[in-house]
Amino acid sequence: MKKILVTGALGQIGSELVIKLRDLYGADQIVATDIKKHDDSVIVQAGPFELLDVTDGKTMFELAKKYQVDTIIHLAALLSATAEAKPLVAWNLNMGGLVNALEVARELGSQFFTPSSIGAFGPSTPKDNTPQDTIQRPTTMYGVNKVSGELLCDYYFHKFGVDTRGLRFPGLISYVAAPGGGTTDYAVEIYYEAIKKGRYTSYLGKDTFMDMMYMPDALNAIVALMEADASKLKHRNAFNVTAMSVDPEAMAAAIRMHIPNFRLEYSVDPVRQAIADSWPNSIDATAAREEWGFKTDYDLARMTEDMLVKLREKLAQTVSL
């Protein structure tokens, strides 16, 4: 990776990935793009930034050509709960954006990354320690998009030789940019509310186990996969990756190690509960470990400690502004 175009650069992953890539490869080498522009954002101020609607393939191609990029990291997409509320919008954005980005990669011979998700699995998938290669019949629009995306990326590799790579991300937890419209978002909200109010009302019920990962581990995984020796990759586009399998009670217990009086209550949202119930409780990341050395630094306890410290600093700054 030398010159990289990132779509959805102001989203949850992009907001941190662009900064990491600029540190690694140089600020001018990373072209951040998003459909919106926040003038005060460090992403916009500290390196090239362009407005881009990913459903506009022509503009995407022109920008990639203008900056002579050799890598495309395509992040722009709607998450699961929003996609379920607006299925057709999700299809058009998630699939239209992806095929445009793949076409640009094909025409320019660029390397390519896009995330898949645990949402690519469905109720008939084995629920525990879900294997890398298994039944994928998701029942959500987001899941349909993710499975189609995995297949499309495989197709562009086999048919056109595009160096496509991807990870099936679990819920990502970060103190920098909030996720929006996901099913796993509770695992971020719980930390904000723990600090602000000492309690949280979960929209997912007790015993709803799903995989999660702290953002620094997710960013390291993207870079490691993109830099991995291509000849070692058997599962290019959809590596299971995970750091922990947790439910709301486990998260609350970890928070109580630092905020002993923290209270967890429940008010279940049937839509997001149904999505979560259709996803695995835990997934198996053996293929990622074996093929390109995937590893994580943060378990639940370590992530919780770091999240609470960093969020307290962030929220204190917001109050003092």
Please report, as ranges, the residues that interact with ligand AKB according to CB under 6 A: 79-80, 117-119, 142, 169-171, 179, 182-184
Judge contact between 253 and 190, C-beta under 8 A. Answer: no
Burial classification of residue 160, based on how many CB atoms lie within 10 Å of its CB (0-12 exposed, 13-18 middle, 19 or more buried): middle
The CA distance from 80 to 86, in Å, is: 10
Pair 170, 241: CB distance under 8 Å: yes
Position with the least CB separation from ligand AKB:
182
Nearest residue (CB) to ligand AKB, 149 versus 182: 182
Minimal distance, residue 293 CB to ligand AKB, in Å: 23
Contact 283, 240 (CB under 8 A): yes
What is the residue whose two structure tokens read 């590799």? 157
By C-beta, is 67 or 169 nearer to ligand AKB? Answer: 169
- Of 25, 67, 142, 186, catalytic: 142
Report how far apart, in Å, the C-alpha atoms of 238 and of each of 20, 45, 154, 224, 234 are: 22, 33, 9, 14, 10
Contact present, 54 and 35 (Cβ < 8 Å): yes
Q: Of the two residues 88 and 321, which places its CB atom closer to ligand AKB in the complex?
A: 88
* 73 vs 118 by CB, closer to ligand AKB: 118
Distance of CA 85 to the CA centre of its chain: 19
Question: What are the CA-CA distances from residue 213 to residues 59, 164, 239, 249 (Å)?
Answer: 33, 23, 14, 17
To which residue do tokens 């954006």 refer? 97
Strands 263-266 and 199-202: parallel
The distance of closest approach from Cβ of residue 276 to ligand AKB in the complex, given in angstroms and rounded to an integer, is: 8
Compute how many other C-beta atoms are within 10 angstroms of the C-beta atom of residue 245: 18
Residue 106 Cβ vs ligand AKB, minimum distance, rounded to whole Å: 26
CB of residue 81 vs ligand AKB: minimum separation in angstroms? 7
Q: How many helices (DSSP H) and strands (DSSP E) are in the chain? A: 13, 14
Can you tell me the distance from the alpha carbon of 317 to that of 175, in angstroms, rounded to the nearest whole number?
A: 13
User: Active-site residue 142, yes or no?
Assistant: yes
Report, as residue numbers or ranges, the catalytic residues.
Answer: 142
